[in-house]
A and B are shown apart, each in its own frame.
Chain A
């Protein structure tokens, strides 16, 4: 069963506070968070969060299409290096 709409999206309160503080200061910094369960809100767009994966903080640059997902979805807990071969990356 999905979450009731009247409750609104779930966010740990410290994540909101930290994001607001960083937005107000206008500083370009990584916001370290441990809350993988928090929902990504529209006011987080453009900020960079360091989402803990149990070992280190993975920098996640929040974009519009990530709204509504949880932070944990963008911070993998397992690392697989594999071979580079012909794999490619796009700079976003």
Chain B
């Protein structure tokens, strides 16, 4: 995946018979699709100015520059639309675009490679970096907090992490199996009250 462009949407087909297209937006704010200037195709050979005309049932109706007929709009069906990375607004400290984080190498504080960022997941609490660990089939989840991820160096393309114990090595707490069973049974009680 190229880092200088990000995929922000796709053409789902023609909308109506007057050359409008139906767009799917992948943006956090779907309506922002038209804010990133001209969007290009995956190979970068074609580029269009996008003007969103109205929201429709499964996305947005839009006009692409140079597309005036239904046939022309139909021909673009399935094309993914890419915006230049520079078109995305700058973010404050401690905020990062997922597109920038994905693919970064994660090193521990000693400089040893822990893995590569595969995805960024949102859980409602802290966000989570899903890491692809070399030589391991299962991915590892790393909380994206200042304590666990003290340094994100986008320029150098790496993240320094200080993972808590038990995250990478399954140290197999002997109590765990019993805890799992107890959780299933009615081994519960109310919290102590003051």
Contacts and interface: CB of A to CB of B under 8 A. Distances in A.
Partners in one complex: yes
Interface of A: 7-14, 16, 18, 27-30, 32-35, 37-39, 41, 48, 50, 52, 56-63, 66, 73-76, 79, 81-92
A14 B125 contact: no
B128 A10 contact: no
B173 interface: yes
A59 B99 contact: no
B118 to A, nearest CB: 9
Interface residues on B, range: 35 or more
Contacts of A75: 123
Given A11-B191, A61-B143, A85 B26 contact: yes
Contacts of A61: 125-126, 143, 145, 147-148
Given A8-B193, A32-B166, A84-B120, A48 B6 contact: no
Contacts of B4: none
B139 to A, nearest CB: 8
A83 B97 CA distance: 12
Interface of B: 6-9, 26-28, 32, 36, 83, 88, 91, 94-99, 101-102, 119-128, 138, 141-149, 152, 164-167, 173, 175-176, 178-180, 182-184, 187-193
Nearest to A82: B26
Given A8-B193, A11-B188, A30-B164, A86 B95 contact: no
Contact of B8 (A52, A86, A92): A86
Contacts of A58: 123, 128, 141
A63 B96 contact: no
Contacts of B189: 11-13
A65 B66 CA distance: 51
B143 A10 contact: no
